[in-house]
Amino acid sequence: MKITRRRIRNSALLLAGLCLAPAFAQEIVTFPSGNLLLHGVVYKPVGTGPFPAVVFNHGSGKDYAKQFDAVGPLYASRGFVLFAPYRRGQGLSSDAGANILELLDKEAAANGTAARGKLMVKLLETDHLDDQLAALAWLEKQKYVNPRKIAVAGNSFGGIEVLLAAERTTTYCAAIDSAGAALTWADSPAIRERLVRAVKNAKIPIFLFQAENDKDLSPSKTLAAELGALNKPHRLKLYPPFGKTTDDGHSFGYYGGEHWIGDVVEFIDRACRR
């Protein structure tokens, strides 16, 4: 059979695909949160474990699957299970309650920006934190997970969730906050006050990081200063600009993983020696 240029190209692509096959499994799962049934995505390294794990909290945008697919394989390649739960009203859990942004937009239209910030705090520290901790409870029960080495991470709204969880539970052994409140810090006294209180009460080590071209670096700088004043274990790192725009900078916690994954894994390994 004559080997054409097209056949050569297709064979090369096939071999490349085989060589680059992901060394992890991906699965959509369901888990209960109160009387709600929510969904999430698990990325698991090849093998039986038990593996260290991370609960990853998404932000308020709509590119959930793309964002999860950016971080899940990254953690799995370092030997971590990553569980990315969809909180109520969002993504695959969109049928379980109202979307948080829709609720916040209605509140802002009716009562102004300050009221929006207050409602944001209320929703993130009640319903959405409940969903996160329900995801944690589900993950702890999986035989392939080391329940003594589970960290929490998240970007943007998800970063806020990280800090609220660090105040609430010691089941996590480390907290990784990327860009939490970077879009809301300046306009929301309620968010600022609540997150300062959260880090003052934090029970676990916290790693705060952002790209320098994120919208606002004040959250990380202010909260790191609070942690430092109380001599609580933490790390702050501001990375060089990511991409060309502020939006690019704000997405660093999803798409800039090649720059931060080593620092994050090192922080988790150090914090979770127990």
| Token code pair at residue 65 | 């699957």
Determine the pLDDT at residue 274: 61
Report residue 154 CA to chain centroid gap. Answer: 2
Of 63, 27, 57, 20, nearest to 42 by C-alpha is 27
pLDDT tens across the length of the chain (274 residues): 333 333 323 333 333 443 445 689 999 999 999 999 999 999 999 999 899 999 999 998 888 999 999 999 999 999 999 999 999 999 999 999 899 999 999 999 999 999 999 999 999 999 999 999 999 999 999 999 999 999 999 999 999 999 999 999 999 999 999 999 999 999 999 999 999 999 999 999 999 999 999 999 999 999 999 999 999 999 999 999 999 999 999 999 999 999 999 999 999 999 998 6
- In the chain, domain spans: 24-271
Q: How far is CA 156 from CA 23, 61, 109, 145, 172, in A?
A: 28, 9, 22, 26, 19
Q: Are the CB atoms for 52 and 268 separated by under 8 Å?
A: yes
Q: Look at the domain 24-271 and name its fold.
A: Rossmann fold (3.40.50)
- Taking the model in full, what pTM does it have? 0.90
